[in-house]
Amino acid sequence: MNKLFTSLRRKILDGERITDEEALQLFDSRDLLAIGELAALANRRKNGDKVYFNVNRHINYSNICVNRCTFCAFSRGRDEDGGYTMALNDVLARVAEASEAGATEIHMVGGLHPDLPFDFYLEMLAAIKADSPEIHIKAFTAVEIDYFATLAGQSVGEVIEELKEAGLDSMPGGGAEIFRFEVRNRICPEKISGERWLEVIETVHRAGVKTNATMLFGHVENAADRVDHMSRLRQLQDRTGGFQAFIPLAFQPDNTRVPDARGVGGVDALKTLAISRLYLDNFQHIKAYWIMLGLKVAQVSLAFGVNDLDGTVVEEKIGHEAGADSPQDLNKAQLIDLIRKADRLPVERDTLYREVRSY
């Protein structure tokens, strides 16, 4: 193993890429601290001491969904108890509240609603922009975009142009889960395939819209599935450069239907974040989503290659319906304190990673 770490250190210093085989060896290794130290080195060379955070608000406009992903405790069928769709005024009120609280971003996603027409989404974007033109709208996953294309009877490229026109600024990275068919077919058989997710995102990037990429881990996937997932992302990033951040999402098991899910301990979470930093050499930002990781693991991850924390969030349903025991919101002062106490430099950013203010 020492040989592996020596050779990887040399690769990082020479700016050389690590192979799938090496990533697998890292997943196999029990030397968490050595992996973390390498990831911290790779991160320091890219981002110095800065840790980015943003002031944002998540809005889940509806939880009604035609799919039934087994890991999802958030969605409901059309006639099921607990299903909701926000009225446009409720969405606008949340955006206005966010804007008054100094948010620079709205992160807005929802289920695949069986009845709403594509125009609903265009009108929602346009109304948000009319009310709060200064706020960046990061909305809809590749899964929703594919669904809109079907609803509208249009190509993904056409749908993206209309969404941009209506006010869409960028997209989050959800819906990626694990790309490999054997896993995807077990956890979300109705969802678009991994190949389709990548194809939609490639079209989005080519339309000049930035996105993130996620990976849902800690269910039934193995290390090879994780490396395969990251490999496809690395290849797409080589082609488009359109990804901003990679966000490993730690699986939360409550109220879900994934038999044999392994769950995510702190060691696995830190290892996965660190390996993603080492493997995804063409991603500038590795983001800890503290909602799923918990605050303390998210803070420690800043010594394991992570340089970005999402965000103030304010209201979170997807992880909390599945048992996440983190708070639902952090204020800016708490985020700054968390980063400072990790001995790093807090920098507020906007969605496109322009610096708003250092602390």
Question: Does 308 contact ligand V47 by CB under 6 A?
Answer: no
| Whole-number CA gyration radius for the chain | 19
Per-residue CA distances from 76 to 108, 143, 209 (Å): 18, 17, 30
Distance of closest approach, residue 317 Cβ to ligand SF4, in angstroms:
10
**Contact mark string toward ligand V47, 210..239, x via CB under 6 A:** --x-x-x-----------------------
**C-beta closer to ligand V47: residue 137 or 318:** 318
Contact 292, 248 (CB under 8 A): no
**C-beta closer to ligand SF4: residue 248 or 346:** 248
Question: Does 94 contact ligand SF4 by CB under 6 A?
Answer: no
Question: Does 52 contact ligand V47 by CB under 6 A?
Answer: no
d(CA 292, CA 256): 15
Q: Which ranges constitute the DSSP H helices of the chain? A: 2-14, 20-28, 32-47, 88-100, 118-131, 142-152, 156-166, 181-187, 194-206, 223-240, 266-279, 290-293, 295-301, 332-340
- Please report the DSSP string for 44-109 in residue order: HHHHTTEEEE--EEEEE-B-B-S---TT-SS-B-TTSTT--B--HHHHHHHHHHHHHTT--EEEEE
User: Per CB under 6 A, which of residues 149..188 are in contact with ligand SF4?
Assistant: 188
Contact segment (CB under 6 A) with ligand SF4 among 5-13, 32-40, 64-72, 123-131 equals 64-72
**C-beta closer to ligand SF4: residue 177 or 308:** 177
**C-beta closer to ligand V47: residue 8 or 338:** 338
Contact 338, 309 (CB under 8 A): yes
User: Per CB under 6 A, which of residues 183..222 are in contact with ligand SF4?
Assistant: 188, 191
User: Considering only residues 35, 94, 111, 124, which one is a binding residue for ligand SF4 as defined by CB under 6 A?
Assistant: 111
In the complex, the residues that contact ligand SF4 under the rule CB under 6 A are 65, 67-69, 72, 74-75, 111-112, 143, 188, 191
In the complex, the residues that contact ligand V47 under the rule CB under 6 A are 71-73, 172-175, 177, 212, 214, 216, 247, 249, 251-252, 256, 289, 292, 310, 318-319, 322
